[in-house]
A and B are shown apart, each in its own frame.
Chain A
Amino acid sequence: MSRSLTTPAASRLPLLAAALVAAPVLVGAGYAILASLGLAGPGQAANGMLDASRWHFVLSSRSTWWSIGWSLQVAIISTALATLGAVVVAAAFSTSTRADRWARGVATLPLPVPHLVAAASALLVLGQSGLLARIGYALGLVQTPADMPPLVYDAPGVGLMLTLAWKEWTFLALVAIAVRGSIGDLYDETATGLGARTWTRWRLVTWPLLWRGLLPSVIAVFVFALGSYEAAVLLAPVQPAPLPVLTMERFADPALARRGDAYVLALLALGIAALAVGLHEWSRARWSRLHTDTTRGASS
C-alpha cells in the first residue's frame, strides 16, 4: 500500500470521500424510511403524521416472507451453479497454451451482456416453444409445446436460476481465473515436493486458497442475483413474486396508500445488501491479508 504523503488530519479526507459515494444510498434509504412511514413521497399522509401501518402490513403478510424466501433460494442456487462453473473453467483451462487462453476468452465474452438481454434470450431458449423444446421435438421427446416442462414462469424458478447462473458465471470465471493466476504455481510445486499427489494438492492447497480468493466475488454475485429486476420480471412466476418485482408492483400500485409498502420492501432489501457488503469486505480483507503478506520477502 502506498505511503501517505499527507498530514494526519487531512489523511481522513479519503474516508469522507468514500462516504460521499455511499451517501446517495444512505440518503435514499433515509427518504425511504420517511416514505414508508408516510412522512414523504407519494404515500404521504395528508395530515403529515407518522403512519407505521405499512410496516406492520408488510412484515406480517405471508406473501412478503414467501417472496423473500423465494428470492433468496433462487439467488443461492444460481450463485452456487455459477461458482461451480467458474471453478471448472478456471481449473480446466488453466495453462497458458493458445487453446486455453482462447477458451478463457470465450468463457468471459458474455460478461457485458445485460441481465435483460440474458433474460430475453432465455425466453427464446427455455420457453415452452423455445429452442430446447424444438430440439426436443427433433429428438422425438416432445410433441407439442405443452409437453415441454415449463422452465420459465415456473414455481421453482428454474429458468430464472439458469439465466442468473449463466450471467454470473462469466463474471465469476473471470475472477476465478485471476485468483488462480495470482495464487501461482509455487504452492502447488511445494506441495508436490512434499509428496502430495494431484487430487490432494487440489483439495488441501489450491482449492482452499481459490475459495478464499473467490468468496468476496461470490458474495457480490449473490447480491446481484438477489437484486436483479429485469431478469426476474421476465422469467419468474406471478406467485410468489421475487422481491424486486414485488417492490415494483407496490411502487406502481394504483392504490396510493399501498405505495408505502414498496419503501418497506426496499429497506428490507437494502438491509440484506448492507449485510452482504459487510461480509464481502470481511472476506476480502481476510484474503488480502492471507495473500499479499505471504508474497513479501524473507527479511522481516
Chain B
Amino acid sequence: MESRPVVASAHRHDAWCIVVTTRLPAPHLLRPIALLALVLFSLGPMLLLVLQSFAFGWRWPTLWPDTLQLDAWRNVSSGTLGRGLFTSAGLAIATTCAAVLFALPIARGMATLPRPWSHIAAALVFLPVAAPPIALGAGLHVVALQLGVAGSWSGVWLAHCVPAVGYATLVLTGVLSTRDARDEEVARTLGASAVHRWRYVLLPQLRGALTEAAAVAFLVSWAQVALTLLVGGGAVRALPIEVLALVRAGQETEAAVGAVLLVLPAMLALSALRRGAARV
C-alpha cells in the first residue's frame, strides 16, 4: 500500500475504530504500546519457561529466581530428557518422511478431482486431523494390539503417521489445487517423461510447500502426547511424555528444561521455513 496523503484523513483511524470507539489519545502512542503488549503476550510465557529452566529455588514472592544455574541443563544428556529427546527425534523424522511420501501423490491426485468429489476427499483427509488424539488413540490401540505393535516404537510411529499424513496432505492440496498445471501439459508436449516432469517442473515449484508439509508433519509427531501414551502404553518415552511426568511431579525446573527442549527446535524450524518462503 503506497502512502496516500489524500486519503489519510479517512484511513488513519481504520484499525482502531474496531478496537476502541471512544476518542483516542495521540495515535502514535497507542501503536508502540500495542506492539509491546503483543510482544509480552506472545513471547512472555516462553521467556518465563526459559528463566525457570535455569532456576534453582524460586521462593514466593520474588519476581526473579533465587539462583541461576546450569545443572538441570547439564543433566539433560544423562537423564530421561536426553533419552526422550532422542526417541522423539527419531519418531518425528520417521513420521515426516512417511507423511510427505504419502501426502504428495495423494494431494496431487486430489487436485484433479472435480466437485463434489474434491470436497468429499478434503473432508476425508481432514478427519484424522480433527479427530481428538485421545479418541483416535483408543481406537488405534486396539488396532495396534491386533497388529502386534502395541507398546512398541513402530506402533507409536504408525499412530503418529495417521494425523501427520492428513496434515501434510492438507498443506500440499492447498498449493496444488491453486497451481496452474498447464506447465505440465507443455512439458509433456515438449517430450518430458513423468520422471522428468517431476524432477524439473513439479518439485522445484513445490519446494516451499513440501518444506511446509514436512515441518507440519514433524511438529505433529514431535508434540504428540495422547497417541504416544495410548498406543505406546507408557513404554515409548518420547520427550513430551517425560515433560508431562515432570510437570505432574512438580519438578518445575526440570520440566521447564524439557519444555524448552520441546519448543526450541520447532521454533527454529518455523523461522527457517519463513525465511525460506520469503526468499522465494
Tell me, rounded to whole Å, the shortest Cβ–Cβ distance linking A150 to chain B.
16
The listed residue (B131, B263, B274) touching A227 by CB distance below 8 A is B131
Q: Which residues of B contact A92 (CB under 8 A)?
A: 15-16, 18-19, 34
B60 engages A134 (CB within 8 Å): yes
**A117-B49, A133-B61, A281-B119 are contacts. A21–B143 as well, Cβ < 8 Å?**
no
B42 engages A170 (CB within 8 Å): yes
When each residue 1-42 of chain A gets 1 if its CB lies under 8 Å from chain B and 0 otherwise, what string results? 111111000011111011111101111111110110000110
A116 engages B135 (CB within 8 Å): no
A156 near B: Cβ within 8 Å? Answer: no
A64 near B: Cβ within 8 Å? Answer: no
A121 engages B49 (CB within 8 Å): yes
CA distance A31 to B169 in the complex (A): 25
When each residue 113-126 of chain A gets 1 if its CB lies under 8 Å from chain B and 0 otherwise, what string results? 11111111111110
**A88-B18, A227-B132, A227-B135 are contacts. A28–B106 as well, Cβ < 8 Å?**
no
B138 engages A266 (CB within 8 Å): yes
A17 engages B106 (CB within 8 Å): yes
B130 engages A276 (CB within 8 Å): yes
A277 engages B229 (CB within 8 Å): no
Q: Which residues of A contact B271 (CB under 8 A)?
A: 109
Q: Which residues of A contact B266 (CB under 8 A)?
A: 112-114
A111 engages B270 (CB within 8 Å): yes
A61 near B: Cβ within 8 Å? Answer: no
A120 engages B133 (CB within 8 Å): no
CA distance A185 to B46 in the complex (A): 36
Q: Which residues of B contact A185 (CB under 8 A)?
A: 1
B68 near A: Cβ within 8 Å? Answer: no
Closest to A247 in B: B134
A287 near B: Cβ within 8 Å? Answer: no
- Name the interface size band of chain A: 35 or more
B24 near A: Cβ within 8 Å? Answer: no
Tell me, rounded to whole Å, the shortest Cβ–Cβ distance linking B243 to chain A.
6
When each residue 138-172 of chain B gets 1 if its CB lies under 8 Å from chain A and 0 otherwise, what string results? 11111101100000000000000010011001000
A209 near B: Cβ within 8 Å? Answer: no
B63 near A: Cβ within 8 Å? Answer: yes
B259 near A: Cβ within 8 Å? Answer: yes
A110 engages B112 (CB within 8 Å): no
The listed residue (B11, B19, B48, B165) touching A125 by CB distance below 8 A is B48
Tell me, rounded to whole Å, the shortest Cβ–Cβ distance linking B10 to chain A.
6
B63 engages A138 (CB within 8 Å): yes
Tell me, rounded to whole Å, the shortest Cβ–Cβ distance linking B235 to chain A.
14
Q: Which residues of A contact B134 (CB under 8 A)?
A: 227, 229, 244, 247-248, 251, 266, 269
Q: Which residues of A contact B39 (CB under 8 A)?
A: 106
B127 engages A274 (CB within 8 Å): yes
The majority secondary structure among interface residues of chain A is: helix
B15 engages A277 (CB within 8 Å): no
B177 engages A2 (CB within 8 Å): yes
The listed residue (A2, A21, A28) touching B140 by CB distance below 8 A is A28
B186 near A: Cβ within 8 Å? Answer: no
Segment among B71-79, B203-211, B244-252 that sits at the interface with chain A: B244-252
Q: Which residues of A contact B169 (CB under 8 A)?
A: 18, 21
B223 near A: Cβ within 8 Å? Answer: yes
Tell me, rounded to whole Å, the shortest Cβ–Cβ distance linking B194 to chain A.
11
Q: Which residues of A contact B263 (CB under 8 A)?
A: 112-114, 117
B109 near A: Cβ within 8 Å? Answer: yes
Tell me, rounded to whole Å, the shortest Cβ–Cβ distance linking A242 to chain B.
10
A107 near B: Cβ within 8 Å? Answer: yes
Give the contacts of B50-68 with A (CB-CB under 8 A).
52, 60-63
15 inter-chain pairs at a CB distance below 8 angstroms, sorted by A residue, are A5-B112, A13-B109, A18-B124, A21-B125, A21-B169, A28-B140, A41-B142, A92-B19, A106-B35, A112-B263, A114-B262, A116-B259, A223-B132, A247-B135, A269-B131
- Residues of A at the B interface (CB closer than 8 Å) are 1-6, 11-15, 17-22, 24-32, 34-35, 40-41, 87-89, 91-96, 99, 103, 105-107, 109-125, 129, 131, 133-135, 137-138, 144-145, 166, 170, 185, 192, 197-199, 202, 220, 223-224, 226-230, 233-234, 243-244, 247-248, 251, 262-263, 265-267, 269-270, 273-274, 276-278, 280-281, 284-285
4 closest A-B pairs by CB: A28-B139, A227-B132, A14-B109, A2-B181
